Structure 1
Amino acid sequence: MQIVFNGEFIEHDQAKIGIFEPAVLYGLGCFSTLRLHVGKPRFFDEHWKRFSQNAAEIGLTLKLDPEQIRAQIIELADKNEVTEGSIRFSCHERHEGVDFTIFVTQPRRVDPPATYRVTLSDCPHPGASPLSGVKHNNYALFRAAHLQARAAEWDECLLVNALGEVVEGGISNFFWVDEDQCLFTPPLSSGALPGVIRGKVLELFPAIRELAPQAEQLKQASEIFITNSSFEIKPVHELNGRPLAAPGEITAKVINAFQEAFPDCRPPFIFQ
């Protein structure tokens, strides 16, 4: 598999980084993962904006042309013969300068389900911090939580902070509907990552309220859906063994509006 490493197309096993670099010792770096659709990056501008801001927040200086990066992604997808898949670009600090890498791979799940089973994770969410809005390379906690959920045959998990608030998923943001049919999503102040698809849903539905539910409150939700740049929006049909409408009326409205605003070439899940 080829990658782009510091502007050059090379085989992935040719990329090298020293063991004493700050990136290895302290995880100093950040990344973004986005969807490759018909050979092109989807929502590239939004991802690049967040990535650039994240790099600046952790003190990394990037001197990169986003249009050149976009072109390299398209070329890399062609070289790796991937038209539908996942893109990851990342940067990490060296003692001198910053490395920048692009991967383009097949999707994580080739045939994902239309609706998801979700559990509440035993891994505690770290809560709000100066880095909670940064998609940084210290990602072990979220990866561990997600992998534990997948090993137990759940599709995703949701993490709870020290205040008992359900904040976000291992790889996703989430939205929930209460008994009064009001739609909510946790605010960034709770520690949630500002996901690109989360932001798109909020743009389409500005009346959505930002509130992080307590775990027991979420268990009473009438609808839940999760968002992620790879699968975009997935209704949740089960939370900790409790069945949910998937999609419910409000979730279907959100999905249909999203597909109308941001069409793609997949056979759409149009929910009635």
Structure 2
Amino acid sequence: MLIYYVDGKFVPAEKAVIPVDDLALLRGIGVFDLLRTYNGKPYFLDAHIDRLENSAQKIDLALPWTHDEIKDVVKATLAKNDIPEANVRIVVTGGSSTDFMTPAGPPRLLVLVSPIPKLPDSWYTDGVKIISWEVERTIPGAKSIDYISASLALKKAAAQGAIEALYIDRNGLALECTTSNVFAFTGETLITPGRGILSGVTRKVVLELAERLFPIDIRDISRSELVAADEVFITGTGKGLVPVVQVDEDTIGDGRPGKKTRQLMAEIKRYTQAH
């Protein structure tokens, strides 16, 4: 039986509720962050809480908890659940509202845990397909709970045999995927967008590991340049680093995970095991 933390209490998952006047339900006001454990310990917990706090600041949601208080709640929630490896979702809601528009009470803190599902080995050995989707985040850099666009995009992706959807802005620039950051190799240079995105924690790790191996260019990249790249991959907390071999109907490189992508996959594996 899973145990969640909900607004100051630890409760069984099936009894976890929040009031119907919470702005998270009424207006989609709230932020969240997602992390996972390795060997039972939260991976980059401080960095994820930093990003949660930054997201809250961007939507003008004042957090009544300190960084360390949130950290302690996450650790306590994990301790109450017997899960070998877990996804941990930290959610801050907009709080209750009497007029269903403006906050009348403090935000609510939720910590939800679940077992990590096993992803197909073929994602990493053979690569995956993603599709492109013309949309832009309302507030780039804020990981808000409003995921309508992402949900629609992922449904479209699944219908086309793809695992992710790549956001393309009005200028034809490739930004990021619904829950992933995107990278491309052109020659020896590793390219990744730096504007209009939510910078992932795994993205930061990849950049740190890659800087001693390859030239790095953080800049705008168009969809046309991306599909013409030698190698493409995506990164995310739950999926790690996944090679991309197809975008819509365009094949990337020779249609197989590239050498430099596989090199970074090995570097991340070593790094994770060491830390």
TM-score (norm 2): 0.84
Question: Counterpart of 1:247?
Answer: 257
1: CA distance between counterparts of 2:38 and 2:82? 13
Tell me what 2:130 maps to.
119
- Look up the match of 2:184: 176
Maintained 8 Å contact 1:166/1:215: yes
2:192 counterpart letter in structure 1 = T
Of 241-250 and 99-108, deviating more is: 241-250
Q: Distance in 2 between matches of 1:176 and 1:203?
A: 16
1:35 equivalent in structure 2: 36
Q: Structure 2 unaligned runs (5+)? A: 96-103
Residue type of the partner of 1:97? P
The range that moved more, 56-65 or 38-47, is: 56-65
Aligned-pair CA distance for 1:78 = 4.7
Q: Name 1:270's counterpart in structure 2.
A: none
1:101 and 2:110 correspond: yes
What is the DSSP-based 3-state SS (H/G/I as helix, E as strand, rest coil) of the residue aligned with 2:10? strand
1:262 matched residue in structure 2? 272
Deviations 1:175-217 (A, max 9, x none): 0012x33210011x2x111111111222233441112322222
User: How far, CA to CA, are the matches of 1:67 and 1:74 in structure 2?
Assistant: 10
AA of the residue aligned to 1:18: P
- Looking at structure 1, the residues matched to 45 and 7 of structure 2 have their Cα atoms a distance apart, in angstroms, of 19
What's the TM-score, normalizing by structure 1?
A: 0.85
Query: Structure 1: where are the runs of 5+ without partners?
Result: 266-272
Partner of 1:268: none
Shift of 1:71: 4.4
Shift of 1:108: 4.2
The one-letter code sitting in structure 1 at the alignment partner of 2:113 is V
Find the residue that maps to 1:98 and give its secondary structure: coil
Correspondence 1:229 to 2:237: yes
Q: CA deviation at 1:28?
A: 1.4
- 1:163 alignment partner, SS class: coil
Q: 1:132 aligns with which of 136, 140, 145?
A: 140
- Distance in structure 1 (CA, Å) of the matches to 2:225 and 2:150: 23
- Which has the higher mean CA deviation after the structures are superposed, 86-95 or 16-25? 16-25
Report the alpha carbon displacement of residue 75 of structure 1 after superposing the two structures with TM: 4.2
Cα deviations by residue, 1:124-175 (Å, 9 ceiling, x for unpaired): 2215x6x211001112112221232124321222121110011111210010
Greater mean deviation of Cα atoms: 234-243 or 219-228: 234-243
The aligned amino acid for 1:234 is V
Structure 1 residues 75 and 39: CA distance shift in structure 2, 3 A = farther
Contact 1:118–1:158 (Cα < 8 Å) also in 2: no
Asked whether 1:162 is paired with 2:162, we answer no
1:74 shift after superposition: 4.0
Specify the SS of the correspondent of 1:225.
strand
Contact persistence 2:168–2:174 (CA under 8 A): yes
Shift of 1:261: 3.1
Shift of 1:81: 2.5
